[in-house]
Structure 1
């Protein structure tokens, strides 16, 4: 399978606020891309509610948080991806990604992960990229395969339960 070409478009506080208000036309204008209903589902709203205060507290953090995954050259938004925040004191960033069901199994998650790793590697303050994945999430475990991640432990997440931690140097 050929890896699709994508670009990541960071979402501003204004875009997040519009999405939380179910105002997709305003969110689209703010983002400069045509966002989809995926950004209005329960999981995305939870994520937006969590990330919006981060962006409001530090507008520069938007480049680290939620990005639309845009397929190129057609410009179709196929999901969202980003980091849990800017690099921590140890130079670690944690990645996350969601591909809309209708675009799954086409390589978009792998393309988004590759773009996130590349972006992190370009930052001198980043030394490690982490992924936390449920042991039952076969799709995400397959997505990180081949990217040099090594299992680094496990954690309990209040939202997601048991997660395996994978890390790779940049």
Structure 2
């Protein structure tokens, strides 16, 4: 998996060793973690990523990423896919930022990069969900181009899909 680059961010693929560091909470040499990273959601994402690696060997093209600021390389969160595409070509996405990085548009910028990555790699749709009370995450998904598709009283579900043949070969 290659890094994904946006105007302000670098989404760096998470490997097995990186996921293990997240679980331990101890940065490795050269890691620059922002205050509050990793949090419980980052550790849960690292556990999920390790399960995918154990089952599939490697996650390309739908893996997990650390979200870094391009200017200084500071890790300010995580984003990525919950696993490989299902039989219909759908992938599920998640993201989260440390409190100090919120409110700057980074989450929507990272999510747009993931959506484009999924489209280029043949996904038919990307899905995500958030708690009904998490209006910030709902704004992120809407800003990235996802639309609300349903709600169950506890969660709101968002998705974006592409017409057949919309993916480019990579």
1:49 alignment counterpart:
47
2:166 alignment counterpart:
none
Calculate the aligned-residue CA RMSD, in Å: 2.3
Q: Which runs of 5+ in 1 are unaligned?
A: 157-161
1:13 alignment counterpart:
16
1:93 alignment counterpart:
91
2:156 alignment counterpart:
164
Shift of 1:10: 1.1
2:133 alignment counterpart:
136
Instruction: Considering fraction of residues, name the structure with more helix.
Output: 1
Q: Specify the SS of the correspondent of 1:53.
A: helix
2:147 alignment counterpart:
150
Q: Specify the SS of the correspondent of 2:66.
A: strand
- Determine the C-alpha separation between the residues in 1 that align with 2:152 and 2:121: 26
Q: Which runs of 5+ in 2 are unaligned?
A: 1-5, 163-170
TM-score, normalised to structure 1's length?
0.80
TM-score, normalised to structure 2's length?
0.80
- Determine the C-alpha separation between the residues in 2 that align with 1:19 and 1:147: 27
Q: Specify the SS of the correspondent of 1:94.
A: strand
